[in-house]
Structure formats: C-alpha cells, structure tokens
Chains A and B, each alone.
Chain A
Amino acid sequence: MTGGPRFPIRWDVAVLTLIFSFLYLPILIVVVFSFNDSRLVTVWAGFSTRWYGSLLSNRPLLDAAVISVQIGLLSALIATVLGTWAAIALTRLGPFRGRAFLGAMVYAPLVMPEIITGLSLLLLFVAIGLDRGFWTITLAHATFSMCFVTVLVQARLVTLDRSLEEAAQDLGCSPFAAFWQVTLPLISTSVASGFLLALTLSLDDLVVASFVSGPGATTLPMRIYGQARLGVTPEINAICSVLIGLVTLAVLAATVLTKRDFAARRGP
C-alpha cells in the first residue's frame, strides 16, 4: 500500500520494540536464567543445563507435571466434545427459544474473572458433595475452556456452506452420517485448534485449580507457585521454560492448522 501519512521508520521500530519488550522480556529472562550455572537466580555464572537435569530427580515436581498433563488432556477432550456440540446447536438448530441468550452466555466465561469461576465452582462442588481432587479440577477446567472451543468452532461453522450438509443428506446420508462424513472433516482443524487451546488453558491455570483442588491433586502451576513462595530457584526457571516451550508448540500447531485450512479453502 502506498499513499497516506507514514510514520518515520524509527518511530515504528521504537514502538514495536517497546511493545515486544513488555511482552517477551520477562519470559526471555526466565528462559535465559534457566541455563544459569549459579544457584542464585539473578547472578549469571555461565551456561549450564544442570537445572534441567535436576528436574528429572525432583519427584514432587514430576508428579505434579504428570497430573497436569492428565488433567489437561482429559479436560480438553471433554471441552472439545461439549464445546463443538454447543457450537453446532447454536449455528445449526435454527431459531429456538433462548438461542440469543445462550449465544451471549457462551462468551461470558471468556471475560469472567477466574477468581469468580473458581469460587463458584468450589461452592458447587461442596454443595453437591463431590470430593475435591483430580476430577473436580478436570471438570472445572473443562467448564471454562469449553467456551473457547465453542467460539472457535462456531466461527468455522458460520462460514461453512449449509448446502454441503444438505448435499450429503441428498446423496443418502442420514443427518448423523452427514455430520460424520462431511461436517466434522471440514471443521476438524477448528476442533483440533480448540482442543490445543483448551489444553494450554488447563496447563496454565493456577487460580481455578487452587480453589477446587483437594489433597493429593496438585497441578504443576500450583506446585511451582508453592515453591516460588519459598524462593525462586533456577529449577523453577527450568520447569517454566519447559512449560513455555510446550505451550508455544501447541499454539503454533493450532495456528498452522488454521492457516493451512484457510489456504485450502481459498484455493491456490
């Protein structure tokens, strides 16, 4: 594009540098110091990977990581199934009573303060007498990540030509078979992106998990937070760097999936 007033180049660069510094400098510091040879977190004493090695022998941290991954996968699975279902209901069932209300309600958890989500879920679990632990965290994570899946899948469904599903039915598919053979393959990348997003949300969560967890179910963020209160060790930097790596990979995968899907739809 040409024409229109343009900032002098140096302004653009300055602003961008500032923004990205704000965003990524803290993260960069964590990653850099995870390779610090010193036991002191803020004093650089040469490159080392020994903290990554010592992670492997930190039993409580490893246990917490296993629990986090289990909860993440399970809650993401539940969120994906329910979230996709909700998206289909909202886009495909046609007008029904309360549809607009439900449509708005789907977005509410996106902006709901986590502390409220956590507290209300805790009250619910106590009220129905559910033992707090692994399953309550899984349910809680599925609950708040479901709406992210719905939003992603809904965005894809509204761009999907309705006549594709009708064509499948016209060619002999029952509505259910048409969903499996045509709709699901076409929204699969959005569903997969939703799953990855739900997974990262679950892996990241500290607030909600702290509210609804019980004895014996400590997630990785909870463990890290607990240890950090006693002082940040290079080991924590190392485990955080691993987490950052995992989350970045998941988000990249989701982005690549969406981009590829978009390119395939637009054609060469």
Chain B
Amino acid sequence: MDCERPFGAGRRTLVPSADPAARPLIRIRNVERRFGAVTAVDNVSLDLFSAEMFCLLGPSGCGKTTLLRMLAGFEPADSGSILLDDVDQAGFAPHQRQMNMMFQSYALFPHLTVAGNIGFGLKQQGLARAIIRARVAELMALVQIDGLADRKPHQLSGGQKQRVALARALARQPKVLLLDEPMAALDARIRSETQRELKQIQHRTGTTFVVVTHDQTEAMAMADRIGVMQGGRLVQVGTPADIYERPASREVARFVGNINLFEAIVEGDPAAGEVALACPLIPGGLAATRPAGPLAPGQPVAVAVRPERMQVLPGRLAQAGTNVAHGTISAISYLGDLTVYSVALAGGMTLSASVVNDGRRTGQGLGRDTEVTVRFDPHSAMVLTV
C-alpha cells in the first residue's frame, strides 16, 4: 500500500512505552463517562504510543467498549480529556477525527459492493475516482481479498467480511485504528491465524491499533501492551508478560489466565528478595518473591501460583517443607498439549496444576484419587496485596 508514511517508519525493536523519551500519540486524562447511576468509565488515564498494538482487556460490561467509543467520538466524556497529538478531541465529531473504527458487527454497508465499502471513506475526502480505485485495489491486496471487489456484503463469508471491514477502516490512513472485538464473530478455527495477520498488517502500516477484547489469550497473542479494565477502572497496564507474571491484584490474576490463590499472612523475610508467609492450607509455610511495595508482618495477602508452575509428584513426600502441599487428584483434564490435574487439599481448597505432555512423563502414576504432593518454587509465587 502506498502511504505518505512509509511502513515501519518509527518502528523500533524497543517497546515505545518503555522509552522514557517517547511522546504519547494519545493522552487520555482522567476520563469519565456515566450512564445514569452507572459509571461506565471511571477516571481512566492512559498514554498510547505511535505504532503500538494496545489491547483493552476486560469482562463484558467493564467499560472497554465505551472507552473505545469515546476515542472515536461517539460518546462524550463527562469529565476529563482525550488528546491526539496534543490536540483536545472534545470539539471534534466522529467524522472530524483522525481515528477510524472497525465495528464488532463490521457494519458493512449492505447496499454497496466490497469496493464501494472500502472506498466509502475516500469518496468522502473528495478524491478522484481513479485514485480511489487504485487505493481500494491496494487495500484489497493488503487484506488479501483480491477478486471480491464486485461482491455485496451478503455474498461474503465471515472472514471475508472482517477483512473488508479492516480495509475500509484503514482506507483513510487513520493515526489510530479502533477495533471493537475484531475476532468475536469468527470461527475459533481461523481466529489465531487472523490474529497473526492482523498483527502483521498493523506492523506493515505502522498504525496504532487499539483493540477491545474480552479474550485474554487473544490479547496476549496480539498486544504490545495490555490495559486490563474492571468495573470501569483501568486496573493494570503493561506488556503481556507483566500482566501475566506480575498481576496487580487478585482480580487481574484471576481474569488473566488460570491461577491458584492462597490467602496467607506475612511472617517475615528469611532470605533476600523473599518473604515468608503462614497459610493454614500449607503446614510447612509459604515462601514467595518479595513484591515491590512494603509488607508489614501480620498483613493479610494472597499468594498466587500459576498452574504450570506447580509440580505434581505421586505419593506423599515425607517431610512437609515450604511450598509443599498434600492432596488427592479429584479430576483430570487431558487437553492434548497439557494435562490439568485438580488436586483437592486437606484444607478444602482445590488446586489446579498443569503438566506438559512431552511424551516422557505423561500421566505417570497419576490417576483419579491418587495421593499426590504438589510443590512450587518461591520465585513462581507472587504476593498480591490487593
């Protein structure tokens, strides 16, 4: 595609958000949106950078779509401001903003052909017909739907519709492309392939993508950074690894991936960088990585351990050490690449532990009702204070 902005310009290997000198493309400052008694977007502040793929992740009703629609200009902000390139967008209607949106329903115009749909935004700019035709052809090549120019939307498959919607939203070369649940209407089968392609297209056009999704695997697969929203608030912003490895709260930990949470009490710090905790479920006590913030002895916290960081051993280990729990297997889910064991602990909690089926140890001596020992390293255990 022929753009004024060459593809890949300004694209660094460094994540833009990690560069302190980087200037944000969009600044969202203390934005709020209320519908009656409900606060859909609650005091959200966020910087978005040029050429980044940002995912707004959260359960349905968390306000992520409202925030996206506020960026597009379909919802006004009750307070706060949105700046694009340091220009406050409050005075601009949707058709005056340099942001385009890909709608969840795709919103393809049923009375226009594929070419008519993709060229719609260009026609509004008053471009010559020949130029529009050439640009439409480039866009169709970009999203790989050559040859469908004269089809009507109802003659397209779901995947083709999604590509037309993407091409149409990219046609005006927006500074920011807003995507509302772009994969929601697709078959699970083609979803991961489409995620890869979307990321490639984002990379090639160098456009900032803001993707709204409720699917954490989708967000992890595509995003440079993820913003987790809950109850209208932006609760954590970070790279996929940040969010997964260092969730800011119990809620984030539960929402992103599977997690085992032990409610525990801080006891002290036996080793540098580690913290000792008491937990009634684990007689030998817990040891976990020390979090950044201060911890006081006696403070109630949660210790979070991902299932894949749990080791499952058949039988009962003689000594009850730190980070060691005993239980029996209550359920086994064989997922092909992984096997997930549900282990019922004596204290009533059920842990989940996943084991990679690498062909060597698969299912060795582990069946239902087998007595097992579960253990994990202190560096796999995260302390969550909220």
Cross-chain contact B109 with A173 (CB below 8 angstroms): no
Within 8 A of A (CB), among B137-174: 154-155, 168-169, 171-172
Cross-chain contact B109 with A164 (CB below 8 angstroms): yes
**Smallest CB-CB separation from A174: which chain B residue?**
B95
Q: Which residues of A contact B13 (CB under 8 A)?
A: none
Q: What is the distance, in angstroms, from A140's C-beta to the closest C-beta of chain B? A: 35
B93 contacts partner chain A, Cβ-Cβ < 8 Å: yes
B74 contacts partner chain A, Cβ-Cβ < 8 Å: yes
Q: How far is the CA of A173 from the CA of B95 in the complex (A)?
A: 6
Cross-chain contact B94 with A169 (CB below 8 angstroms): yes
Q: Which residues of A contact B (CB under 8 A)?
A: 161, 163-164, 166-175, 177-178, 181-182, 185-186, 264-268
12 additional A-B residue pairs with CB within 8 Å, beyond A167-B101, A168-B109, A186-B111: A161-B105, A161-B107, A166-B72, A167-B109, A170-B100, A170-B169, A174-B93, A174-B95, A181-B120, A182-B109, A182-B111, A266-B154
Which of B104, B109, B121 sits near A172, CB closer than 8 Å?
Answer: B121
Cross-chain contact A172 with B107 (CB below 8 angstroms): no
Which of A167, A170, A264 sits near B154, CB closer than 8 Å?
Answer: A264
Residue from the set A167, A168, A267 with the largest chain B CB neighbour count within 10 Å:
A167
Q: Given A161-B105, A167-B103, A170-B100, do A186 and B110 touch, yes or no (CB 8 Å)?
A: yes
Cross-chain contact B95 with A166 (CB below 8 angstroms): no
Q: Which residues of B contact A161 (CB under 8 A)?
A: 105, 107
Cross-chain contact A171 with B93 (CB below 8 angstroms): no
Q: How far is the CA of A161 from the CA of B109 in the complex (A)?
A: 10
Q: Which residues of A contact B171 (CB under 8 A)?
A: 171
Cross-chain contact B93 with A169 (CB below 8 angstroms): yes
In the complex, per-residue mask of B249-269: 1 if CB is within 8 Å of any chain A CB, else 0: 000000000000000000000
Q: How far is the CA of A265 from the CA of B155 in the complex (A)?
A: 11
In the complex, per-residue mask of B158-197: 1 if CB is within 8 Å of any chain A CB, else 0: 0000000000110110000000000000000000000000
Q: Which residues of B contact A172 (CB under 8 A)?
A: 95, 121, 124-125, 172
Cross-chain contact B94 with A164 (CB below 8 angstroms): no
Cross-chain contact B111 with A185 (CB below 8 angstroms): yes
Q: Which residues of A contact B155 (CB under 8 A)?
A: 267-268
Q: Which residues of A contact B104 (CB under 8 A)?
A: 163
Q: Given A163-B103, A169-B94, A170-B101, do A267 and B172 touch, yes or no (CB 8 Å)?
A: no
Q: Which residues of A contact B72 (CB under 8 A)?
A: 166, 170
Q: Which residues of B contact A167 (CB under 8 A)?
A: 101, 103, 107, 109, 168
Which of B74, B100, B105, B154 sits near A171, CB closer than 8 Å?
Answer: B100
Which of A166, A186, A266, A267 sits near B103, CB closer than 8 Å?
Answer: A166
How many chain B residues touch A (CB < 8 A): the figure is 24
Q: Which residues of A contact B120 (CB under 8 A)?
A: 168, 171, 181
What are 29 contact pairs spanning A and B, CB under 8 A? Answer: A163-B103, A164-B107, A167-B103, A167-B107, A167-B109, A168-B109, A168-B120, A169-B93, A170-B94, A170-B169, A171-B100, A171-B171, A172-B95, A172-B121, A172-B124, A172-B172, A173-B95, A173-B124, A174-B93, A175-B93, A177-B124, A181-B120, A182-B109, A182-B111, A185-B111, A186-B109, A186-B111, A264-B110, A268-B155
Q: Given A186-B110, A267-B154, A268-B154, do A171 and B168 touch, yes or no (CB 8 Å)?
A: yes
Q: How far is the CA of A161 from the CA of B94 in the complex (A)?
A: 17
The 8 closest A-B pairs by CB, nearest first: A172-B124, A171-B121, A267-B154, A167-B107, A163-B107, A169-B94, A163-B103, A185-B111
Q: What is the distance, in angstroms, from B23's C-beta to the closest C-beta of chain A? A: 26
Q: Which residues of B contact A185 (CB under 8 A)?
A: 111
**Smallest CB-CB separation from A172: which chain B residue?**
B124
**Smallest CB-CB separation from A165: which chain B residue?**
B107
Q: What is the distance, in angstroms, from A159's C-beta to the closest C-beta of chain B? A: 12
Within 8 A of A (CB), among B265-305: none
**Smallest CB-CB separation from B119: which chain A residue?**
A171
**Smallest CB-CB separation from A166: which chain B residue?**
B74
Q: How far is the CA of A143 from the CA of B182 in the complex (A)?
A: 46
Q: What is the distance, in angstroms, from B129's C-beta to the closest C-beta of chain A? A: 16
Cross-chain contact A166 with B111 (CB below 8 angstroms): no
Q: How far is the CA of A227 from the CA of B103 in the complex (A)?
A: 62
Q: How far is the CA of A173 from the CA of B120 in the complex (A)?
A: 9
**Smallest CB-CB separation from B109: which chain A residue?**
A182
Q: What is the distance, in angstroms, from A166's C-beta to the closest C-beta of chain B? A: 6
Q: What is the distance, in angstroms, from B93's C-beta to the closest C-beta of chain A? A: 7
Q: Which residues of A contact B105 (CB under 8 A)?
A: 161, 163
Cross-chain contact B107 with A166 (CB below 8 angstroms): yes
Cross-chain contact A265 with B110 (CB below 8 angstroms): yes
Q: How far is the CA of A166 from the CA of B180 in the complex (A)?
A: 13
Cross-chain contact A169 with B107 (CB below 8 angstroms): no
Cross-chain contact B172 with A171 (CB below 8 angstroms): yes
Q: What is the distance, in angstroms, from A189's C-beta to the closest C-beta of chain B? A: 11
Q: Which residues of A contact B93 (CB under 8 A)?
A: 169, 174-175
Q: How far is the CA of A182 from the CA of B107 in the complex (A)?
A: 11
Q: Which residues of B contact A181 (CB under 8 A)?
A: 120
Q: How far is the CA of A266 from the CA of B168 in the complex (A)?
A: 22
Q: How far is the CA of A265 from the CA of B349 in the complex (A)?
A: 53
Residue from the set A168, A169, A182 with the largest chain B CB neighbour count within 10 Å:
A169
**Smallest CB-CB separation from A160: which chain B residue?**
B110
Q: How far is the CA of A50 from the CA of B185 in the complex (A)?
A: 65
Q: How far is the CA of A164 from the CA of B153 in the complex (A)?
A: 13
Q: Which residues of B contact A182 (CB under 8 A)?
A: 109, 111
